[in-house]
């Protein structure tokens, strides 16, 4: 079953974020606290939204999808940026990932969003294959740029 996350889900979402970070070989970078997630998802001005996948037999959470709105100056419309999609290893192959993405796609259409986008690590062949099976287009001509730490501070100091 796919449903909107609730505040009670925050500890389990946080645990799955850490599991995802470990899988992506970057657990030390997953520093978000439960309170930060609670504020980001359920505060007065949410920065992001989440869906969760529940195991129909046990009722336990087996996956989540966390997204936020974005805007395209080219289309003049909003879109959806998927930040995280994660299904626990023992639940993979059960259709939870597809169900989470289908629920997000339906939300896109209901909301009038024209784009649904996300990133995938170049080495994550299982995910790439899964996304290809859904008909996802890979935009190889685009590169992700990021400023953080000292370079971010140095550029900010130039203002």
Positions annotated as catalytic residues are: 131
Strands of the 116-118 sheet, one edge to the other? 2-4, 49-54, 61-72, 77-87, 116-118
Euclidean distance between CA atoms 99 and 122, whole angstroms: 23
Say if CB 20 and CB 86 are below 8 A apart. yes
Say if CB 121 and CB 157 are below 8 A apart. no
Q: What is the largest CA-CA distance in the chain?
A: 56
Q: Single out the residue of 111, 112, 82, 113 nearest to residue 20, CA to CA.
A: 82
CA 63, 68, 74, 75 torsion: positive or negative? positive
């Amino acid at each position: 079953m796919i449903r909107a996350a609730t505040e009670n889900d925050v500890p389990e979402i946080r645990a799955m974020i850490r599991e995802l970070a470990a899988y992506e070989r970057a657990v030390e970078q997953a520093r978000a606290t439960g309170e930060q997630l609670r504020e980001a998802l359920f505060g007065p001005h949410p920065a992001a939204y989440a869906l969760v996948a529940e195991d129909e037999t046990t009722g336990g959470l087996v996956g989540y999808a966390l997204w936020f709105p974005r805007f395209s100056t080219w289309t003049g419309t909003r879109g959806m940026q998927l930040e995280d999609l994660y299904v626990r290893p023992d639940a993979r192959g059960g259709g939870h990932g597809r169900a989470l993405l289908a629920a997000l796609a339906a939300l896109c259409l209901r909301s009038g969003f024209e784009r649904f986008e996300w990133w995938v690590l170049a080495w994550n062949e299982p995910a790439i294959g899964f996304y290809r099976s859904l008909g996802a287009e890979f935009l190889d001509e685009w590169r992700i740029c990021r400023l953080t730490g000292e370079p971010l501070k140095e550029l900010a100091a130039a203002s």
